[in-house]
Chains A and B, each alone.
Chain A
Amino acid sequence: MFEERTGRDTATLTMVVFRLGIVIVFVVMVARMFELQVIQNERYETLANRNRLLRMETPAPRGIIYDRNGTILVRNRPSFEVALVPEDLPFDDLDTEDIDEEAVEIEKVLRILRADSDPDVALRMAAILFNKLGYDDFIRTVQRVNVPISFLSEPAFVTPVMEDGRLTMAEPRKVYLPDLDQPLPLEGLVALVKRTVAIQSMGSASDPVPILDGVDRTRAFEISEDSFRIPAVRVTQVPVREYIYGDLLSHVLGFMGPIPAFAAENYRAAGYTNPNEKVGLNGLEYTYQRELRGEPGVRYSERNILGVDVRTVGPVIEPVPGLNLHLNIDRRLQTVMRDALQEMMDEVDAPWGVTVAMNPQNGAVLGMVSLPSYDNNIFAERIGEDYLKLEQDERRPLINYAIGGLYPPGSVFKMVTSAAGLAEGVITPQTVVVDSGPIYLPNRYFPDDRSQAQEFVSWNHKYGIVHGRMNVVSALALSNDIFFYYLGGGYLDQFQGLGHQLLSKWTELFGFGETTGIDLPGEVTSLVPTDQWKRQLFAEPWTTGDSYNMSIGQGYVLSTPMQVLVETAAIANGGTLYVPKVVHHMTDANGGVQKDFEPEIKRELPISKEDMEYIRRGMWEVVNSDYGTGRVARVPGVEVAGKTGTAEFCEYIPEERDCRRDEKGFLPFHAWFSAFAPYDNPEIAIVTFVYDGGEGSAVAAPVTQKILEAYFTEISPRPQSTAAQP
């Protein structure tokens, strides 16, 4: 600069390069800003929103369930939950060494909740905290404050859970669970609450931590008042399902509980964001979960890095209440059915029983009782020990046996055989079969040896009675088995029967090989036995004897009471199979009908009205003729038609390598009765089943009679009483 020392060293160039550097830096930085702020702006905006916005759901009020007369069966009862907000608890001030301010505050709260004086509260609280913390943390926390825990004497298995709640692949561990029936002393609870709060505040310090639930309204108000000066306490209302009639309708209504682990993925895919949300787990609560739930409200809460709620951002979507269900079931009829069945079951000491009623003209389910039942209210707030008790009950009360139990139908199946015979032209209404005592099928390998032949008897033979000449009507009335053996399997070369193919075909036509399609979960079905089925299962061909057994509803045929009811209704209405419907229609919160359930026809049976009339007539004679087996089912003023069933079953006893038998060597019986009324224009069809109940005519028919009598006097009285009948 001052001299001529340019060009040979870096002095001048440095200044030029420096200036150039400034320009380049500006260009590069602005280009980078353009890339980040303009080109990728959307991406970073999303990331920033993900940082700050939290989707909050307000659950919609769940739909209410009414019976056909508008009686409320399920409603939402407010229950209260006490929670602590971590950010509102005081910090442990380290200047005061001997006092833990946070623990002092928690203890104050627990005293207000009466955790120190009310063992129920202490137990409930321990159960909640145990579920939150898990086995290891629970024990460690309690033991750290030197509080003794009593353990259960029986070891249990726990599946280790990872910190984020996922199940590990590790083997379940055998541990001794703490006995949650022993109330913990206050120090233990304080330590547990403190630990739970600490864990929660790692996520968001604004989210309340529930420490006690199931608080009733009065207590909730008291707690709110007492904890007025403690900012961390939140008393919130949580709706709880209240099943007003308890065990009367639990199999129909079902119950709710948190989303089960195995279904978590499905629910999440369906838009359930809270993994602890309670969903219908059984009954209508399950089937109509989507409709009952409604649409939860949504708002976006803005949170800072500490998880503190700052404000609500954007539009708030209000929740849409769930739809209300209006059932076909009549609560009064249901009560009558339950009482009648329970009374009889007590009398004959039967373990299980079912009675189901339906309108045969449209498939509307009028009542459905499966005993034993359970009170679904015990699941309303939490699924816990009570559930385990029910699950472990030998009689499995949680199962709805009306659709979940498979039994040999016995003689109530004979209408199927009759219909097949008439429709396929194997018999005419005038075809006569003579019952002159047991019949014998010759042994396949020793056809001439009478002693090796297989004997087939009718129920009446053990009383020393033969029924003589019968057509299909009187055979149904008498429930004679010989007639149906002939009809189903034929007899030697004297009589051409249906054969297994036609029997199977008509069994399927009547809906026995498929579920009825009722709007309840847990329905089962068995396969219709066929030749091929038997060959695959037993490696044996179908025999005439198998056809014999099948044609009287024994042997390989199994059905649910609901399937028998659909069969009965089809006879009653002249040949139409309806899909049973529990729900009649749904309304929204304003009472507008949202969905009306039209009767759904599954199938029209390929049988003429005239032929069907003979079967109906047979069922009429069962009840109304002097020789009918179901005379006990007569109801004054109404013409009832029915069919008794007494189905042998085998309860295999491994020690004896045989089925259970009575002292005379007879197998035990299920009692069945299927009926419809009035005969001319049926409006109700009923099937009653009593497990191990004995004679259908003595056990199932009287129950049905009681129900029908109540139905036609209290629930649907006849217009003018024709009680003057002699």
Chain B
Amino acid sequence: MFARINWRNFDWLLLLVVLILSGIGVAVIYSATRNSPDLVDYWQRQINFIAFGLIALFVVAMLDYRQLSIVAVPSFLLFLAALVVVYLFGEAQGGSKSWISIGGTLVQPTEAGKFLIIIFLAWYLSWFRDSMHKLPYLLMALVLLLAPLALVYIQPDFGMTITYAFMGGVLILAAGVRYRHLALLGAGALAAIPIFASTLQGYMLARICIFLPTDEEGHVIAPILSILRTAFDRLPSECIQPEANTAASYNVEQALIAVGNGGLTGMGWTQGTQNQLLFLRVRHTDFIFSVIAEEFGMIGAALILLLLLFVVWRILRIAESAPDQFGKLLTTGIAALIFFQIVINVGMNLKIMPVTGLTLPFISYGGSSLVSMLFAIGLAESVAMRHRKIEFF
């Protein structure tokens, strides 16, 4: 299986951009944690994570991604089982019961689950490729997606749920859905809204409500409020007067101040006051983009955003020249995952998306986040190296 490796097809540019982004991540993490005694060595740890991640990247790239179709079904079932176990015996951290203790260390199955879902759906959609124009197969795909979705939703992990939904949706669409089936599904989804609304957790609603337009006194404007009142039995206070609950909106507010404070050119590395004086919370993970925006300004932030989106673009390019449907869907899923996390995280920093706790790929601090992202790049590279056509750039 190693015989067919073609390093000339390895996307070195993609790797270079990913490395640049990871390097920027280290610098920003340094800036964000240097004033917190507990966190001062995080930038060094992040370097270690990069090293681990790179090893994973190359190992995965050398493996033939097609071997993954063998493990797709068993690993998916294992993942579902893990989610059930978490639901029954899991430990709660930060409001959601999504952790399980294995030999004393806490493991969050949903993080790896992102890839398992991509692999499994890519396998299913390519295996039954010729039958996908039949509705039962399509519905089966949806059911298979909804199973983990529902289990994560009840944890409750809002961010992961919408991530799964987005990835799954993109995969199914990319595999090809007939337009009349699509219309049918759209109608079904509309019909399911009340069920969704009735199970929506209060805190999730609260996070969304922070974005609702308000009048001068800070109350949510009347027409929207009346719609909310008919849809939900109990409204969290954020849905009536979003700013009143300072605890909920504090982090977002401070992030917004940091971004605005940065201006066009930024305050300079390690010079952002919102960041350095600790007004910005969870600076090294969720709100790391605010640090970038404050210290490097709009120009720096836009450039970094451009690099991030370039990675997505590049993976999509790999998908389009993949040798088979499985490889195409695999890379599309990875692109969708990275894209989604970028949109949600940056959007949350700019207060155009709700707060979900999704990290910024390659930049946010965190071993599992970074290593899994590099792992994903490795998968994409594995597909790239097994190009259907030789040389085309």
Contacts and interface: CB of A to CB of B under 8 A. Distances in A.
B302 A48 contact: no
Contacts of B347: 29
Interface in A288-303: 302-303
B363 interface: no
A45 to B, nearest CB: 5
Given A18-B335, A304-B277, A48 B258 contact: yes
B259 interface: yes
Contacts of B83: none
B259 A36 contact: yes
B126 to A, nearest CB: 11
Contacts of A305: 277-279
Given A10-B173, A15-B320, A22-B309, A36 B278 contact: no
B274 A304 contact: no
Contact of B339 (A1, A11, A22, A45): A22
B268 interface: no
Contacts of A40: 260
A52 B275 CA distance: 11
A228 interface: no
Interface string B271-313: 0011011110000000000000100011001100110010011
Interface stretch (B94-102, B174-182, B227-235, B368-376): B174-182
B305 A29 contact: yes
A4 to B, nearest CB: 12
Contact of A48 (B173, B261, B298, B332): B261
Given A9-B176, A44-B256, A44-B257, A38 B298 contact: yes
Contact of A11 (B175, B257, B273): B175
Main SS at interface, chain B: helix
A9 B293 contact: no
Contact of A33 (B178, B277, B301): B301
A51 interface: yes
A43 interface: yes
Interface in B343-368: 343, 346-347, 350, 352
B316 A37 contact: no
A9 B257 contact: no
A37 B260 contact: yes
A18 B167 CA distance: 12
Contacts of A306: 278
A303 B276 CA distance: 10
B264 interface: yes
A37 B257 contact: no
Contacts of B335: 18
Nearest to A28: B352
A11 B335 CA distance: 15
A385 B273 CA distance: 47
Contact of B277 (A36, A47, A302): A302
Give the size category of A's interface with B: 35 or more
Nearest to B350: A32
B375 to A, nearest CB: 21
Contacts of B306: 26
Contacts of A15: 174, 316, 319-320, 332
B174 A11 contact: yes
A19 B316 contact: yes
Contact of B350 (A18, A26, A29, A303): A29
A21 B264 CA distance: 25
A5 interface: yes
Interface string A582-606: 0000000000000000000000000
B328 interface: yes
A34 B254 CA distance: 18
Contacts of B312: 22
A696 to B, nearest CB: 70
Contacts of A304: 35, 276-279
Interface of A: 1-2, 5, 8-11, 14-15, 18-19, 21-22, 25-26, 28-30, 32-34, 36-38, 40-41, 43-45, 47-49, 51-52, 302-306, 310
- A-B CB proximity, top 4 nearest: A44-B260, A11-B176, A9-B176, A304-B277
Given A26-B306, A29-B347, A41-B261, 18 more contacts: A1-B320, A2-B325, A8-B133, A14-B170, A14-B173, A15-B319, A18-B336, A19-B313, A26-B305, A33-B298, A37-B259, A37-B260, A45-B260, A45-B261, A47-B261, A48-B274, A52-B279, A303-B277
